[in-house]
Structure 1
């Protein structure tokens, strides 16, 4: 009998992958998140709930388990991770412990935990106002960075050059409705992410990913394999395994961000989910490893996990399309197909393009390219992105802020 599972959010490709495994899929998601046709095709039921409302999600999950029991709650989405762990623990369904998931979700708790075991030292403090932020920066004697304690997507992340800038930056924090932030020393170097998968407490680093940062610390692109020296990659693999052991991760995907600094490797943050920004697709193209499928298949025992380190088949890269803020007036695409390139243009006339302040503001689409190696994939992606012209004009004052398009894939 096919297992029934609940997915808290995630792209339609995740729903499709689980359904193709033979699972009956129930998805819990914000109303309007999915194209209705895609949802009907891959799900036996869609439960409308705002994943940002933990109490509502817990109530919906309990009601679902009472009338249509599931074998496991999974969350491909950041917002649903803690609720999924709590539901799995409440109904004894297995999976990573609530303690582990909460530790990864709460950036200050994870910093404290790592400091307590002497792993990847980074100076940090939870601050509640401009005065506390200025005091921390004075102690640092250099620039810092502030970020929300438990949010992703590069939202509300600000560099603070010194104590004299604390009041100005904190005014933005208050404008966003936040009362406390995690302040850290500002790390410089080469930033990568680590795409891992764990089974029975054993961790495999599937890929190390290079990232390209745009304005406001929002990613403008990624590529795999990362262009780092082999000895550095080995150090990254070792540090990632130590981190995942330290937080108690036992199964499923992980996405860990690491800065390669002059003083050594430093952990930025980690998550018990696959990376966003289509990184799993890059991994599939470059390594032939389907992390989306494994996320459900391996924990349920539907497929085994091959724990050997995969060898890259080539390179893959993504570049996000951008445009000047305003209303889209025209979209010009390349007249002919480009070798190794897939265009995912979502911009269309009439769409309002916002200033990019976090990942969800990248509403224009993306370009994914493959190549013999990462260099060729990056070159192809950037060349293709340069040939997509998205023209915009002034947005009327009454124009609604754009949101990411309804997901169909």
Structure 2
């Protein structure tokens, strides 16, 4: 095992090249966002196949993907990269409506801000600078119903394995997901078609993908996409509801260890996750239900003495989660939320 900081791109590349020199590697993989570009670069350096560096970079850089989609006329969204409060003000003035400011290359809903108009640009930019950022992507604020698309590609052919509902909490931090999404067959078919067009446009040829789409009054709009399985235990929900193990397939299929069955198995039912929360402070007591947990798995991580931070991005959800299955997503959600309502995590202010 080689211990290396995935956030240090040169160190990851050096470690990968050193490993290849000692013992030939068949393929480099990364299950996490931080290692995707490095894995693609190493695969390209050694001619190992997989998704190209260009493809992975397009998906990693939100502004690059927006520019690429704009050039193709696919899923039009007004956007701009800004470097100052003045530039943010100018774009919002042109936009004539609310915008959303986000980092170009980060996930987990970190440093994402809604801006209601030019009058709030200076306030929001002060937060951007406080986070140590010098440039941000600002887009028109899309309103509607957001879903994610869990896909898998082989030889450039794309399969939509599942469409996932998401539930937002404070700000843009997700507090839950459920599979399958509550969309009708017409919308489901349109989502699958748009996802395939997107993945073709960026040149994705293999492996899992996680694409976020907003269903708006003006049609479907792509928010972003990634050449990895979704976070937040979404692959586990897909496995429970659909019988497809995307994490296993991500490695086994490209290596030829298992075939990819393009005909998906019959759905098993529904699955849902709800993340636990507590008042910020030090955990003093935890009370968990012991009965009435049919189809429910408790993943409580909070412990007495643990410090619970305010939730500003996904990594702040440190209390744990509840995963439930049911005959359909409605029953799974009901079971998960009923369990959450019976969990008590008490805190006291940090001294």
Query: Shorter chain as normaliser: what TM range?
Result: over 0.9
Contact (CA 8 Å) 1:208, 1:226: kept in 2 or not? yes
Residues in 2 aligned to 1:262 and 1:309: alpha-carbon distance in whole angstroms: 31
Could you tell me which residue of structure 2 aligns to residue 208 of structure 1? 163
Q: 2:88 aligns with which of 129, 133, 149?
A: 133
Residues 320-339 of structure 1 aligned to structure 2 (within 5 Å)? 320-336=275-291, 338-339=293-294
Moved >4 Å (runs of 4+): none
- The unaligned stretches of length 5 or more in structure 1 are 1-44, 397-409
Q: Name the CA distance, whole Å, in 1 between partners of 2:320 and 2:329.
A: 21
The answer to whether structure 1 residue 67 and structure 2 residue 57 are counterparts is no
Tell me by how many angstroms 1:335 deviates. Answer: 2.7
8 Å CA contact retained: 1:280, 1:292? yes
RMSD of aligned Cα (Å): 0.8
Q: Pairwise mapping of residues 109-258 of structure 1 onto structure 2 (< 5 A)?
A: 109-258=64-213
Preserved contact between residue 225 and residue 312 of structure 1 (Cα < 8 Å): no
Mapped to 2, the partners of 1:86 and 1:395 lie a distance apart of: 45
- Partner-residue secondary structure (3-state), 1:85: helix
SS at match of 1:73: coil
Give TM-score scaled by structure 2 length.
Answer: 0.99
Query: Equivalent residue for 2:6?
Result: 51
1:365 is matched with 320
1:69, distance to aligned residue in structure 2 (A) = 2.4
SS of residue paired to 1:96: coil
Residues 326 and 394, structure 1, Cα contact 8 Å, conserved in 2: yes
- Indicate the larger mover: 53-62 or 302-311: 302-311
Q: TM-score, normalised by structure 1?
A: 0.85
Which secondary structure does the structure 2 equivalent of 1:74 belong to?
Answer: coil
Structure 2 unaligned runs (5+)?
none
Give 1:308 shift: 1.9
Q: Which residue of 2 aligns with 1:381?
A: 336
Q: 1:295 is matched with which residue: 250, 257, 264?
A: 250
Among 90, 97, 114, the alignment partner of 2:52 is 97
Assess if the C-alpha contact under 8 Å between 1:316 and 1:368 holds in 2: yes
Alignment partner, residue 311 of structure 1? 266
Give 2:240's match in structure 1, choosing from 282, 285, 292: 285
CA contact (8 A) 1:205 1:309 kept: no
